[in-house]
């Protein structure tokens, strides 16, 4: 890693307990120069395409076109598998080497994809994962990636998001990663989000057919320039400290602390996670000490690399003056506010989808009270507050599914540093809450 | 004789005793894993059942990943006494939370001890070591089986991941229900989870729903009737 960060927004806490502080864990991948760029590990890519009835017409045509574009962008050492599914799962081709002949063959087979019936998402996803897992057997130095394109809500096979999450995590730990592209407004954000979040990838959104091509080719570019995969942040927590990750990443707990799974990092990019820590009481002058490390795999490698983070601390103070006047990292506080707001937006969108309108408005109002207080004196936060005030009003009523999907996408982009591959995309939250 | 505990807890007390944050606790209430608070607002109070369930969930969480539906099922099946016994370590959680074979490797890194051991999670000595510019290799053990083995086990006959396998009567009925409700969308879900309504369809199948009012309850009854009629047909 080029840079890492492990720091608090403020360094003093109340000795009587209950202080809330925000810990940022940040990392930046180096940008290789043309000379220093290492040879990219061969990529085994499986495209899993939903061909259920709702994909008929323009979406399926765009998915076909995008798959052709992906085939054209792969190198001769790479392989491509394409799996299509409705209530039946068909492998169009498996492990096709992307030399000139392979690309020609892929192109001709892809033109024969037609739409069908229901949506067995898990069956298609697992079959796609199997095609790349097979190519991993007995070999070293290959990367295995599944990209799943779906516009629907699974109604066959494994439906429970929790179970999908578990299998995606297990495959990620075994070196098979999953990224999803949700098409249109009908896809299940829960099912696709857990597959990508636990599968070490991202959930992209393609609202219109032509965006499928933009998103898929954009994602291929990301895959070509991945610096680290399966990134894990481990934080050792002192006794009685309660930690919550803003945005709720997949995590595992141990007796020493918590580990968060972040997915991948592309060359030259930054990634941050923010932990909200509730602190216990303590003796003035004493400190809570925090240690952390980042572990990750380089593409094509099964070995995990580790970067130890410089230990940081929070000191107990007994003077309300020193607590109030303590120095604050304003840039970090702005990042905290941005992540916090994104988390509230995502939760509100989910509750609105569930029909819990009043509860969603209550939740936004409660968060807003704490949020406004945190933002005092931080430049750039007034817009975030205004947007939450607008959200509180709007979330009382049924927001369109498109609006909810875009709100979810807005949050994912801020919480996970997700790149937006769509050319025509609004970053204004107010545009989605029509 | 069972004596109901009348002890009340604040959200803060629940946080400190269970090590779940307030947002997580509210989230569990939203998802129906916990009953709602006894009173609302800043001074909302919670009872012994909340504490027991949270400590139980903590044990379950420490043991590994479990689908939400499975957690709900466990909470529904177990009596409050057993939840309490497991929560407070009088009964081993392994006795109820059996795990699929592919989860076995998790046992190595998960402990049943909810409260962290003092020597491992007290206070850490600050060191002045700088960020390591050259990454070291991590020695955490990789999973025992390959991705291919895992997938093939999952896709073996009888697994729900693959369509066209032997369907249970329930799955057949679910499919029939979907076919007779065109334009199916995922049902809306209320965020409140104070109580569950249970309507028996057959001696071995029950419909359960939470947060329903009178009209919704009547609707659930009629769904149960339709479901019962559907099950009695020969598919």
* Nearest CB to B162; choose among A123, A144, A291: A123
Residue A313: its chain B contacts at CB < 8 A?
A: 126
Considering the domain boundaries, does residue B3 fall inside one? no
Show which of residues 324-353 on chain A sit within 8 Å of chain B, judged by CB atoms.
351, 353
Task: Say which DSSP state B156 is in.
Answer: S
Cβ separation A155–B20 shorter than 8 A: no
Q: Which of B28, B68, B146, B163 is most worth mutating to test chain A (most A CB atoms within 10 A of its CB)?
A: B163
Average pLDDT over residues B66-82: 75
Please give the domain boundaries of chain A with CATH numbers for all domains: 3-30+228-324 (2.60.40.740), 43-224 (3.40.50.410), 332-431 (no CATH)
Higher pLDDT, A129 or B6: A129
Identify the domain boundary among B58, B83, B108.
B108
CB B50 within 8 A of CB B70: no
A351: exposed, middle or buried (Cβ count in 10 Å: 0-12, 13-18, 19+):
buried
Which residue reads 């932990």 in tokens? A275
B133, part of any domain: no
**Residue A383: burial class (beta carbons within 10 Å; 0-12, 13-18, 19+):** exposed
Q: Domain ends where: B42, B73, B108?
A: B108
Q: Which of A312-321, B117-126, B138-147, B206-215 has the highest mean pLDDT?
A: A312-321
Report yes or no: A268 and A37 within 8 Å, Cβ to Cβ. Answer: no
pLDDT digits (tens, 9 = 90+) for B86-98: 888 888 877 775 4
Greatest distance between any 2 Cα atoms in chain B: 73
The nearest alpha carbon in chain B to A86 belongs to B163
A172 three-class SS: helix
Residue B146's contacts (CB-CB under 8 Å, 6 or more residues apart) are A133, A136, A137, A174
Confidence of residue B215 (pLDDT cuts 50, 70, 90): low
* Cα atoms found within 13 Å of the Cα of residue A427, Cβ hemisphere only: 9
Q: Which of A42, A108, A48 is nearest to A75 (CA)?
A: A42
Instruction: Measure CA A418 to chain center.
Output: 7
Location of structure tokens 């990301």: A222
End position of a domain, from candidates B73, B90, B108: B108
Q: Do A310 and B129 touch (CB under 8 A)?
A: yes
Residues of chain A found within 8 Å of residue B127, distances taken between Cβ atoms: 291, 311
In angstroms, what CA-CA distances link B115 with A256, A403, B16, B120, B125? 11, 43, 11, 11, 21
DSSP-derived 3-state class of residue B1: coil
**Helical pair A161-173 and A121-136, crossing angle rounded to 10 deg:** 10
According to DSSP, residue A389 is labeled: H
Residues on chain A touching B62 (C-beta within 8 angstroms): 253
Which run of H or of E encompasses A342?
A: helix A330-353
pLDDT tens-place values along chain A, 434 residues long: 878 999 999 999 999 988 999 999 999 999 877 666 677 889 999 999 988 877 888 888 888 888 888 998 899 999 999 999 888 888 999 999 999 999 988 888 887 776 666 667 888 999 999 999 999 887 888 899 999 998 877 777 787 788 888 899 999 989 999 999 988 877 877 788 889 988 988 888 887 777 888 888 888 888 888 999 999 999 999 878 888 899 878 888 777 788 898 988 999 889 999 999 999 989 998 999 999 999 999 988 888 999 999 999 999 998 777 888 889 999 999 999 999 999 999 889 888 888 888 888 988 999 999 999 999 989 999 999 999 999 999 999 999 888 888 888 888 888 887 777 776 666 677 776 66
Interface of B with A in 98-157 (CB under 8 A): 102-103, 109-111, 113, 116-118, 120-132, 135-138, 140, 142-143, 145-148, 150-152, 154-155
Residues 6+ apart with CB under 8 A from A105: A93, A96
Half-sphere CA count of A372, side-chain side, radius 13 A: 10
CA-based nearest residue in chain A for residue B177? A155
Question: Chain B residue with minimal CA distance to A281?
Answer: B16
- The distance of A187 to chain B (nearest Cα, Å) reads 10
**Shortest Cα distance from A3 to chain B (angstroms)?**
9
Least Cα distance to B105 among A186, A391, A174 occurs for A174
Specify the higher pLDDT residue, B234 or A48. Answer: A48
Tokens of A424: 């025509």
**Residue B159 belongs to a domain:** no
CB environment B7-44: b (16+ within 10 A), e (fewer): eebebeebbbebbbbebbbbebbbebbbbbbeeeeeee
Q: What is the pLDDT of residue B137?
A: 58
pLDDT band at B173 (very low <50, low <70, confident <90, very high): low
Place B2 in a pLDDT band, splitting at 50, 70 and 90.
Answer: very low
One DSSP character per residue, A22-80 reads EEEEEEE-----TTTPPPPPPEEEEEEEE-SGGGTTHHHHHHHHHHHHHHHHS-TT-EE
A303 and B137 within 8 Å at the Cβ level: the answer is: yes
Q: Can you give the pLDDT at residue A382?
A: 94
What residues in B contact A292, CB-CB < 8 Å?
none
Residue B127 has pLDDT above 50, yes or no: no
Residue B180: CA atoms inside 13 Å, Cβ hemisphere, count? 9
Number of domains in chain B: 2
Classify residue B147: in a domain, yes or no: no
Angle at which helices B48-63 and B22-30 cross, to 10°: 100
A153/B185 CB distance under 8 A: yes
Which residues in chain B are closer than 8 Å to A276, comparing Cβ atoms? 21
- In this structure, the number of other CB atoms found within 10 A of the CB of residue A233 comes to 26
Cβ–Cβ below 8 Å for A305 and B124: no
Q: Which residue has the higher pLDDT, B194 or A216?
A: A216
A116: Cβ contacts below 8 Å, ≥ 6 apart? A51, A52, A53, A86, A87, A88
Of B178, B10, B17, B124, residue with least CA distance to A236: B124
Q: Dihedral sign for Cα B218, B222, B228, B231, please.
A: negative
Distance CA B72, CA B34 (A): 10
Residues B97 and B170 in one domain: no
* Contacts (Cβ under 8 Å, ≥6 apart) of B73: none
Measured distance CA(B20)–CA(A200) in Å, rounded? 25
Cα atoms in the Cβ-side hemisphere of radius 13 Å centred on A307: 26
Q: Give the residue from A14, A121, A242, A360 with the most B CB atoms within 10 Å of its CB, the best one to mutate.
A: A242
Contact with chain B for residue A428, Cβ under 8 A:
no
Number of inter-chain CB pairs under 8 A, A vs B: 195
Chain B nearest C-alpha distance from A210 (Å): 25
Inter-residue contact A407 to A399 (CB < 8 Å): yes
Nearest CA in chain B to A246: B23
Classified as helix, coil or strand, A266 is strand
Judged by a CB distance cut-off of 8 A, whether residue A299 touches chain B is no
Nearest chain A Cα to B40, which residue? A362
Structural domain boundaries enclosing B202: 166-232
* Residue B92 shares a structural domain with residue B175: no
The C-alpha atoms of residue A217 and residue A149 are separated, in whole angstroms, by: 13
B89 — alpha (psi -120 to 50), left (phi > 0) or beta? left
Considering only CB atoms, A133 lies closest to which of B136, B147, B178, namely B147
Could you tell me if residue B142 is inside a domain? no
Contact yes or no for A255 and B131 at CB 8 A: no
Chain B positions in Cβ-Cβ contact with residue A4 (cut-off 8 Å):
131
Q: If pLDDT is split at 50, 70 and 90, which confidence band does B122 have?
A: very low
Could you tell me the CATH number of the domain that includes residue B79?
A: 1.10.1660.10
Query: Do A177 and A219 form a contact (C-beta atoms < 8 A)?
Result: no
Cβ of A304 within 8 Å of Cβ of B116? The answer is: no
B138 falls within a domain? no
Task: Please tell me the distance in Å from B6's CA to the nearest CA on chain A.
Answer: 26
B124 within domain boundaries:
no
Do B81 and B172 share a domain, yes or no?
no
Residue of A33, A151, A132, A137 lying closest to A78 (CA atoms): A132
Q: Does one domain contain both B103 and B173?
A: no
In a domain, B154, yes or no: no
Where helices occur in B119-168 by DSSP H, the ranges are 147-154
| Structure-model confidence comparison of residues A243 and B231, the more confident one | A243
| pLDDT, position B107 | 29
Closest CA to A130 of A142, A144, A143, A140: A144
Query: What average pLDDT does this structure show over B184-201?
Result: 54
In this model, does residue B190 exceed pLDDT 50?
Answer: no
Characterize the bridge pairing of strands A257-266 and B136-138.
unpaired
More confident of the two residues B201 and A361: A361
């Amino acid at each position: 890693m080029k840079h890492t960060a492990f720091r608090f927004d403020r360094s003093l806490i109340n000795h009587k307990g209950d202080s809330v502080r925000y810990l940022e864990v940040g990392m930046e991948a180096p940008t290789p120069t043309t000379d220093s760029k290492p040879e990219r590990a061969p990529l085994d890519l499986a495209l899993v395409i939903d061909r259920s009835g709702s994909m008929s017409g323009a979406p399926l045509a765009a998915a076909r076109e995008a798959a052709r574009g992906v085939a054209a962008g792969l190198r001769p050492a790479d392989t491509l598998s394409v799996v299509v599914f409705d209530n039946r799962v068909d492998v169009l081709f498996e492990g096709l080497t992307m030399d000139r002949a392979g690309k020609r063959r892929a192109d001709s087979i892809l033109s024969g994809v037609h739409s069908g019936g229901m949506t067995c998402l898990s069956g298609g996803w697992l079959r796609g994962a199997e095609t790349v897992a097979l190519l991993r057997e007995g070999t070293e130095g290959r990367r295995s990636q599944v990209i799943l394109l779906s516009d629907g809500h699974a109604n066959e096979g494994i439906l429970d998001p929790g179970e999908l999450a578990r299998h995606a995590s297990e495959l990620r730990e075994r070196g098979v990663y999953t990224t999803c592209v949700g098409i249109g407004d009908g896809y299940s954000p829960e099912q696709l989000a857990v597959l990508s979040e636990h599968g070490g990838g991202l959930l992209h959104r393609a609202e219109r057919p032509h965006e499928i091509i933009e998103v898929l080719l954009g994602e291929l570019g990301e895959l070509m320039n991945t610096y680290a995969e399966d990134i894990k942040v481990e934080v050792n927590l002192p006794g009685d400290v309660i930690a919550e990750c803003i945005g709720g990443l997949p995590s595992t707990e141990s007796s020493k602390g918590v580990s968060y799974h972040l997915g991948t990092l592309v060359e030259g990019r930054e990634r941050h996670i923010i932990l909200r820590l509730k602190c216990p009481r303590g003796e003035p002058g004493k400190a809570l000490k925090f240690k952390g490390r980042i572990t990750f795999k380089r593409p094509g490698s099964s070995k995990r690399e580790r970067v130890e983070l410089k230990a940081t601390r929070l000191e107990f103070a007994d003077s309300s003056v020193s607590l109030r006047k303590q120095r604050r990292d304003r840039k970090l506080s702005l990042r905290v506010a941005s992540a916090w707001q994104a988390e509230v937006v995502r939760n509100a969108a989910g509750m609105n989808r569930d029909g819990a309108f009043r509860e969603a408005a209550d939740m936004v109002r409660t968060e807003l009270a704490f949020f406004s207080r945190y933002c005092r004196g931080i430049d750039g936060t007034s817009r975030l507050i205004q947007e939450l005030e607008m959200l509180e009003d709007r979330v009382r009523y049924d927001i369109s599914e498109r609006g909810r999907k875009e709100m979810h996408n807005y949050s994912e982009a801020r919480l996970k540093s997700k790149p937006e591959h769509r050319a025509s995309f609004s970053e204004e939250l107010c545009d989605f809450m029509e | 004789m069972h004596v109901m505990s009348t002890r009340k807890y604040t959200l803060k007390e629940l946080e400190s005793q269970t090590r779940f944050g307030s947002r997580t606790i509210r989230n569990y209430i939203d998802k129906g894993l916990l009953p709602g608070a006894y009173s609302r607002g800043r001074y909302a109070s919670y009872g012994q059942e909340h504490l027991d369930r949270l400590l139980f969930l903590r044990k379950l969480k420490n043991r590994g990943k479990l689908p939400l539906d499975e957690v709900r099922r466990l909470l529904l099946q177990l009596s409050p006494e057993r939840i309490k016994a497991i929560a407070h370590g009088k009964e081993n959680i392994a006795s109820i939370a059996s795990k699929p074979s592919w989860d076995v490797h998790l046992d190595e890194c998960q402990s049943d001890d909810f409260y962290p051991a003092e020597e491992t999670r007290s206070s850490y000595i600050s060191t002045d070591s700088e960020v390591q510019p050259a990454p070291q290799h991590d020695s955490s053990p990789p999973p025992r089986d390959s991705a291919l083995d895992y997938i093939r086990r999952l896709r073996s006959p009888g697994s729900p991941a693959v369509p066209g396998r032997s369907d249970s009567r329930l799955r057949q009925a679910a499919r029939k229900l979907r076919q007779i409700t065109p334009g199916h969308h995922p049902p809306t879900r209320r965020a409140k989870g104070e109580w569950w309504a249970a309507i028996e369809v057959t001696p071995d199948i029950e419909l359960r729903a939470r947060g329903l009012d009178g009209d919704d309850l009547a609707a659930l009854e009629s769904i149960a009737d339709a479901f019962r009629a559907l099950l009695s047909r020969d598919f």
